[in-house]
Amino acid sequence: MKVRVDQDKCIGCGLCTSVAENVFSFNDDGKAQASNVAPDDEEAVESAISSCPVEAISKE
């Protein structure tokens, strides 16, 4: 699975970076960015996708 964060939508709330810290991190703009998703992290990523308040995370 691969995911991306829409930089225009992300408000930097930090939810995804705490729910799936292996995948999401903050970039220099204070927005979330995603790395490749290992199989063990997929459940946490699905949770982050459905919980993001501005629906900025999408699967590629």
Tokens 């930089």 found at: 7
Report how many residues bind ligand SF4 under the rule CB under 6 A.
14
CA distances from 52 to 3, 24, 37 (A): 13, 12, 17
| Smaller CB separation from ligand SF4, 44 or 52 | 52
Is 13 an interacting residue with respect to ligand SF4 (CB under 6 A)?
yes
Is 1 an interacting residue with respect to ligand SF4 (CB under 6 A)?
no
Is 15 an interacting residue with respect to ligand SF4 (CB under 6 A)?
yes
Is 3 an interacting residue with respect to ligand SF4 (CB under 6 A)?
no
Please state, in angstroms and rounded to a whole number, the distance separating the CA atoms of residues 31 and 14: 9
